[in-house]
A and B are shown apart, each in its own frame.
Chain A
Amino acid sequence: MNFKSDVLIVGAGGAGLTAALNAKESGVSVSVITKEYPTRSQTCMAQGGINAALGNAGEDSVESHIQNTLKSAHGEADEEAIRFMCSEAPSAVAWLDSIGVCFSRTKDAKIAQRTLGGASAPRACYAQDYTGLKILHTIYDRCMAEDIEILNERHLLDLLKDVSGAICGARVLNIRTGEIETHLASAVIIASGGYSRIYDKNSTNSTASTGDGIAVASRAGAKLIDMEFVQFHPTALKNSSILISESARGEGGYLLNSKGKRFTDELAPRDVVSRAINEEILKGENIFLDIRHLGEEFINEGLPQERKLAKLYENVDPVHELIPIKPVAHYTMGGIEVDHKSQTNISGLFACGECANHRVHGANRLGGNSLLEIVVFGKEAGMNAALFSKQKSETKVEESSYTFIDELQEYTNAIDFYEKREYVGDLLYKNVGIVRTKEELLLAQSEIKSLYEKLPLMGVKDKEKAYNTNLVEFIEFKNLLEISAVVIERALKREVSCGAHYIV
């Protein structure tokens, strides 16, 4: 089956949908595909807020926002890109407000703001504990108002090129029918999210954050940069890796070891706290978050999600008990390299959101800057892809109907890939995690290489065409292995510690 539009957007989270709205507004036809449904994207999990120097809750300036972001980036960011993002932030929030995002408000009728780690002022605009959810749903509603075509449950397989080598569409698996579809477009925007699930269950992310768009773009020749920078969040529930928000420490929570002793400054940057916890764990300690002293009333009012999740997943009630925690992968700074127009090194291919690297996070992302990035650069990507598509003349698609799925028919089931997926997650967590050594990285590198070679022995057991999640998860596993290899290679190349990449 064939589809055609001027701009094809892969991914329907905050970045993809913002790009879609802006491309359509620029006067071109737009089609969005997502492997889930738009409102199920990773964006919905963002809690903290979206940064903009509005100064609603205390003195602030765009310049302070820029300086805080630069500092957190450890010299690995592009100052011009950061200046652009921070300067655009107030109008990005104004736009979200104008389309109906239910931001929390102050008593004097302003958008409420709070302080997140690394910020010199209360800068994060929030919507209770559901900032990402409410932003994503409102942008989605806007897409409905603008009649944007969104095709659900489509998995990106590969990008298509025309005879000149420019991107002209994508080959896609319709998960529901099992059919392969061709989506032609003059420009393609990848907005498919990050790759935290290379760490499998050692990640706070949705099971869908498998970096598919990054792997696919890389196979098409797109450059990936800063892939070694992975942010580990200090406090996820020990067994399930469910996030316990930073606000638990912000409000006065302690970190304790098995002896009940505090061992670090709880309010230091995420990478520093994660390393301190990791060090204790390596000594054989179990680590706990203690919020008992905050009191039941405060916990119910300020941290209701956290109480519910701790009870559900760890069988502990934080009002009376310690919460077992560990640091896990939370956000991936690296991604597809793009210029200031969100364009990759391949003609016709654009990227925005966590999968892209606009060089605004550098070696460590600041809380509240990821929701900002998806709105600011989602807009840029949408407008620039639309402009590009208008200028592009009709081209001829390179004839090839090959997909990885054809090859898959020959694969055997000698090895269970689910077992290997878990193994890879644990291996990367240990060897390519919070603290890295050259020896451990080399070991992980050879393991990933050997597993990749064994893929033909790890085929799909489910032979049904319709809604074959066994097949989808295998395709994701292959992408995860490809990305893991790049992360390790880049971590080996960077011999000096920097931000989230800590090597000893």
Chain B
Amino acid sequence: MIKISIKKDNGFKDYEVELTGATLLEVLTYIKTKIDNTLAFSSGCRSSVCGSCSMRVNEREVLACSYKVQDGDRVEPLKNVELIRDLVVNMDKSYSFNAKAKAWLTTKTPVTLDHEDEKINEVQSDCILCGSCYSACPVYAVNGEFLGPFALTRVWKYVSDKREEGEETKINKIQTDGVWDCTLCNECTLVCPQNISSKADIEKLRMKSAQYGFMDPSFASFGGGFGSFDGSPSF
């Protein structure tokens, strides 16, 4: 017998289930079909590729289908996103950042890629848009217009693709509420179920931005520019 506490309506509700060694998704499905028909959550593939069942357990983002339940777990919806009901959140806004960042391929001439080229953005193209990274991101928590981790990873996916011809347009798009707003705290990397590091992708986008003449606006505003690269203001 295990007891778990689930965010429901305006508080937490405790459920006791006779399941051991089960995934959180199995437990939620058990509760939904056998104990409480009113519990709301999303799920789909059960095998970590659809990104539907992202939520938080003990304040950590997980996919319910790949997390083994422990006695006493506390289950909540993702953070930094509009709550619809219980564990269900509205993903429309975070999805919209992909469009805002123009995260798609712009190409006219066919380019052949080899095995090495394939490896450049293989991991980035594993993204399942589960939204765990937005939930864990402290920058997005305070700036709702920050393009955010998965959208920037998607931009890097296309910018690093040899087929991409609109690199400069893409780089221009991510200067405001984009690459320079990230604090490189790495929380997105730690919670990603696909082992993607948006932080690392953002660093690569910063280097690319520098090649196009952009610089960290927090340096620029101090008038120091590249004078003091250790990060200390130059006044």
Contacts and interface: CB of A to CB of B under 8 A. Distances in A.
Do A and B interact with each other, yes or no? yes
A100 B105 contact: yes
Interface residues of B toward A: which range? Answer: 35 or more
Contacts of B232: none
B45 interface: yes
A245 to B, nearest CB: 11
B230 interface: no
Contact of B50 (A44, A142, A468): A44
B208 to A, nearest CB: 18
A102 B122 contact: yes
A137 B125 contact: yes
A1 interface: no
Contacts of B105: 98-100, 138, 141-142
8 contacts: A40-B45, A137-B127, A138-B105, A144-B98, A422-B33, A462-B37, A467-B40, A468-B40
Interface in A1-45: 36-37, 39-42, 44-45
B47 interface: yes
Contact of B103 (A108, A141, A242, A308): A141
B40 A98 contact: no
Nearest to B101: A144
Contacts of B88: 467
Contacts of A105: 113-115, 117-118
Interface of A: 36-37, 39-42, 44-45, 97-100, 102-110, 127-128, 130, 133-134, 137-138, 141-142, 144-145, 147, 152, 176, 206-208, 240, 242-243, 305, 308-309, 312-313, 315, 418-419, 422, 460-462, 464, 466-470
A305 to B, nearest CB: 8
Contacts, number: 146
A40 B44 contact: yes
A461 B85 contact: no
Contacts of B40: 467-469
B90 A144 contact: no
Interface in B107-123: 107, 110, 112-115, 117-118, 121-122
A312 B52 contact: no
Given A104-B118, A144-B103, A462-B37, A133 B126 contact: yes
Contacts of A99: 104-105
A312 B23 contact: yes
Given A98-B107, A141-B98, A109 B113 contact: yes
Interface in B163-210: 163-164
Interface of B: 21, 23, 26, 32-34, 37-38, 40-47, 49-52, 66, 68, 84-86, 88, 90-92, 95, 98-99, 102-107, 110, 112-115, 117-118, 121-122, 125-129, 154, 157-158, 161, 163-164
A469 B84 CA distance: 12
A467 to B, nearest CB: 4
A299 B21 CA distance: 24
B92 to A, nearest CB: 6
Contacts of B129: 37, 39, 137
For chain A, what secondary structure do more than half of its interface residues adopt (helix, strand, loop), or is it mixed?
loop
B114 A127 contact: no
Contacts of A469: 32, 40-41
A177 to B, nearest CB: 9
Given A418-B33, A418-B34, A40 B47 contact: no
Contacts of A144: 98-99, 103-104
A470 B37 contact: yes
Given A312-B68, A467-B88, A240 B46 contact: yes
A206 B92 CA distance: 21
Contacts of A133: 49, 126, 128
A305 B65 CA distance: 14
B104 A466 contact: no
Nearest to A176: B84
A309 B26 CA distance: 14
The 10 closest A-B pairs by CB, nearest first: A100-B105, A418-B33, A109-B114, A467-B85, A145-B104, A141-B104, A461-B37, A102-B125, A462-B38, A144-B99
A36 B43 CA distance: 9
A238 to B, nearest CB: 14
A109 B105 CA distance: 19
A140 to B, nearest CB: 8
A419 to B, nearest CB: 8
B7 to A, nearest CB: 14
A309 B85 CA distance: 29
B66 A312 contact: yes
A242 B46 contact: yes
A128 B125 CA distance: 11
Nearest to B39: A469
Contact of A130 (B44, B112, B126): B126
Given A109-B113, A133-B49, A141-B104, A461 B126 contact: no
Nearest to A146: B104
Contact of A466 (B33, B43, B84, B154): B84
B192 to A, nearest CB: 15
Given A44-B50, A44-B128, A100-B105, A141 B45 contact: no
Please indicate which of the listed interface residues B26, B40, B49, B126 has the most CB atoms of chain A within 10 Å of its own CB: B49
Nearest to B118: A105
A206 B194 CA distance: 19
